[in-house]
Structure 1
């Protein structure tokens, strides 16, 4: 069994020790990502148990997302102050205990309070877990490590709803949360046994930066959540967007001038980080719309059952995992620039293929489209998620992981909102308001295709040897 001293960032023991840390962090990520989506199909049963209308349960979902948004910016400071090992294990403990509280809740207010606590644990767990992987992985193995911790974000939105429905109907909705107990206990045990991480510098806490970033992210996330519901409260969503944008603008202005900012923004001076955040965020928005649009299209427009729709979504998940073993080879052969551009076009074509589907399309063709789309989006996720950390210095790692987690969280919320807005616009155009048909989903997926193509512009500006130290790619292009 590895010892903490064997996990030094420069160690070449990644194939045996560092890889287990990557799997551990991936398991924790999966638990957190799954919890954000697994309750959606169990909402009716939970509402009946609490004696409230199903729509009231959206408060619990929103509370979780808002807690994530508020506390993610604090994660880097806490990890530096207390040490990533202690913070990661404590975050899992908070998340696990909050899961128990969710399962034992007897009323909606109790459930909302427990979901907020879950969000706090998740907000610390995700960026600190990524920080641990980066510090325990040599650059030459970074692609494999990032590929390992990327799949939970792809799998959870696909597996969450059908899994939640199955658990709620087979046992009871309480077990959706109780299942986190053995997973959390095992994760804490191995985290304390494997992970090293002494506390860093004791810099002062940036209260103005925390308040401004927390208000900004919470307002934007709540506004985006409103846009995913029908009918959309445009006035409230617009007001929250303005408040959130102004607060985040002030937070960025303040952190650039503060002596001890909550988040170190110098990473935006790193070209690969900047490109991955900008183009990568647009790509994540496009991808984030798929788990929202596809099940609706299969059930509302095609008339498929929930089982058939879930089966097709599992094909998408199969493609996500199937390409993982080939990720390192592809990046080594084509480099980050070539992979992101070429595969990015394939991602856009995948959305176009979804737009071309109809109820009369043979099932095997639908499966092929889903698997191929899963393969391409998984490759693009891994490419952007690895490139973002290729040229980050050790002193910038904490700030980079925090900023990247903030952008990921916003992109996920925007993705669902973008899918909902695209569908609403299509309905207005076709006159099918409230009853979307095949034509509406074709228009919506057409808009997503355009967004996926726009996301490629930043990748064009990358040099041919971008991230070569990590990918191992040898470019033949002139310097």
Structure 2
């Protein structure tokens, strides 16, 4: 293992806060946008139910570039890549704010995603290499605390800014934070380079092409202008690229992600469980603000306030996650929690104009607690048994799958919503389409139950060698 870098006392104090700024920017951006989608659609003369490309373009870009983050940091140094990441994210935010069409906005979100893909992984890598291992947990806790505030402030700020200013300000508020982050990165991010290693460029292209093509195929189902023949062509092309990557990875010395990772049952179950469970929960931040504003007539500020219980529930359950997993083990915690999560997502089909504000708040609070416990347990069990020499690769693949599954979740939800939506639908028909979509989304989440039943009954949190740093989402 590489020795910790010697930092001067001031840099040692500030570095975790610098990475925390990046984490805060990411989590705030991930939640502030969804409440604004209907207003953005009106301003850009688009259907609010077809705005998923704004969300998917960012998530997919992040998923594509995460595998390259460690290699770039090792080759060019953490300071240069971290500074560039914040600069790209800030530039993307500026471009988003001045976009005048959906296509311009999607391209700007790709630029933003290029920065977002590198900020947190490179920052986390710098902290890992700059401090002794016994200090790492405390530094990680310090880094993640501001990030927990983002999901709480995001919906509130997004709704308020859209209602009392304009949607452009949800991107403009990133500019002062980004400028501060750039200046701080130049002064306090240490220059850390790792050993030069070969990068699996062809594997990166094949894996990335598979993600893009499969996501585009699902998004095409939500777009009535895309023929089904083209959707099927994209889907099979994506699967072919994935198969080609998998066959190649088993025969080269340093693949992007080695198939041997899946020889560990807990890792295989965790990765596949993440993929299917997040197909349902990943669509939630996209669907709920649309349901509230498009189908139920909430204002942006009201919709943003209604989303706050989700974040509160997620924060409250965090300290209880480990005791629950210790008590019941991963197998039964994830099996029971996945069934509960699917049921709660499906029960959103009961929300209508007669649902009180208190009922909605309790419902979303419960989803927030169950969702947070699900993420913590899934993330930890995925890497619980990996040896140290595979922990970095496994963690990188997990990060990719998390982003990819959220992207596929939004694409799938948009496709379902479009399929259930009748031409010239009235408010009642629109609400029915949302109800049917939530029933399907809940069913997608339940599918992961069969996977988690494959876990060993003896798996417990207490056996996790990397548990201290893997439980965060």
TM-score bin (small chain): 0.7 to 0.9
Q: Indicate if the aligned counterparts of 1:127 and 1:405 stay in contact, CA closer than 8 A.
A: no
Q: Which residue of 339, 351, 356 maps to 2:350?
A: 356
Please give the TM-score of this superposition, normalised by the length of structure 1: 0.77
Distance 1:57 1:369 in 2: 25
> More deviation in 235-244 or 128-137?
128-137
SS, match of residue 387 in structure 1: helix
Pair 174,303 (structure 1): closer, same or farther in 2 beyond 3 Å? closer
Distance 1:448 1:147 in 2: 35
Distance 2:342 2:388 in 1: 35
1:325 aligns with 2:297: no
Distance 1:57 1:453 in 2: 26
Pair 53,459 (structure 1): closer, same or farther in 2 beyond 3 Å? closer
Which residue of 1 is the match for residue 367 of structure 2? 373
Pair 170,355 (structure 1): closer, same or farther in 2 beyond 3 Å? closer
> More deviation in 332-341 or 446-455?
332-341
Q: Which residue of 30, 34, 38 maps to 1:33?
A: 30
Q: Indicate if the aligned counterparts of 2:159 and 2:301 stay in contact, CA closer than 8 A.
A: no
Q: Indicate if the aligned counterparts of 1:150 and 1:382 stay in contact, CA closer than 8 A.
A: no
1:372 Cα deviation (Å)?
1.0
Which residue of 1 is the match for residue 453 of structure 2? 460
Q: Indicate if the aligned counterparts of 1:72 and 1:405 stay in contact, CA closer than 8 A.
A: yes
| Aligned counterparts, 1:55-454, within 5 A | 64-65=58-59, 67-84=61-78, 86-103=80-97, 114-129=108-123, 131=125, 145=140, 149=144, 163-164=157-158, 166-168=160-162, 170-188=164-182, 198-229=192-223, 233-424=227-418, 426=420, 436=429, 439-454=432-447
Pair 213,151 (structure 1): closer, same or farther in 2 beyond 3 Å? farther
Pair 382,325 (structure 1): closer, same or farther in 2 beyond 3 Å? same
- Number of residue pairs matched? 458
Q: Which residue of 44, 47, 54 maps to 1:47?
A: 44
1:299 Cα deviation (Å)?
4.2
Please give the TM-score of this superposition, normalised by the length of structure 2: 0.78
SS, match of residue 455 in structure 2: coil
Distance 2:441 2:367 in 1: 13
Q: Any idea what the Cα deviations from partners look like across 1:47-85, whole Å, max 9, x if unmatched?
A: 38xxx9999988776654554344333223223333445
Distance 1:45 1:426 in 2: 22
Pair 46,446 (structure 1): closer, same or farther in 2 beyond 3 Å? closer
> More deviation in 29-38 or 206-215?
29-38
SS, match of residue 429 in structure 2: coil
1:377 Cα deviation (Å)?
0.6
Pair 35,255 (structure 1): closer, same or farther in 2 beyond 3 Å? farther
Distance 1:163 1:470 in 2: 38
Distance 1:236 1:379 in 2: 39
Q: Indicate if the aligned counterparts of 1:4 and 1:194 stay in contact, CA closer than 8 A.
A: no
Distance 1:167 1:31 in 2: 14
Distance 2:7 2:51 in 1: 46
1:305 Cα deviation (Å)?
4.4
1:227 Cα deviation (Å)?
3.6
Pair 161,35 (structure 1): closer, same or farther in 2 beyond 3 Å? closer
Distance 1:345 1:47 in 2: 39
Unaligned runs of 5+ in 1: 8-13, 474-479
Pair 64,285 (structure 1): closer, same or farther in 2 beyond 3 Å? closer
Pair 38,360 (structure 1): closer, same or farther in 2 beyond 3 Å? closer
Q: Indicate if the aligned counterparts of 1:76 and 1:401 stay in contact, CA closer than 8 A.
A: no
Q: Indicate if the aligned counterparts of 1:24 and 1:190 stay in contact, CA closer than 8 A.
A: no
Q: Indicate if the aligned counterparts of 1:268 and 1:274 stay in contact, CA closer than 8 A.
A: yes
Distance 2:466 2:197 in 1: 37
Distance 2:420 2:168 in 1: 38
SS, match of residue 388 in structure 1: helix
Distance 1:58 1:376 in 2: 25
CA RMSD of aligned residues (A): 4.4
Distance 1:64 1:292 in 2: 13
Distance 1:150 1:283 in 2: 25
Pair 137,96 (structure 1): closer, same or farther in 2 beyond 3 Å? farther
1:120 Cα deviation (Å)?
1.8
Distance 1:94 1:80 in 2: 19
1:159 Cα deviation (Å)?
6.5
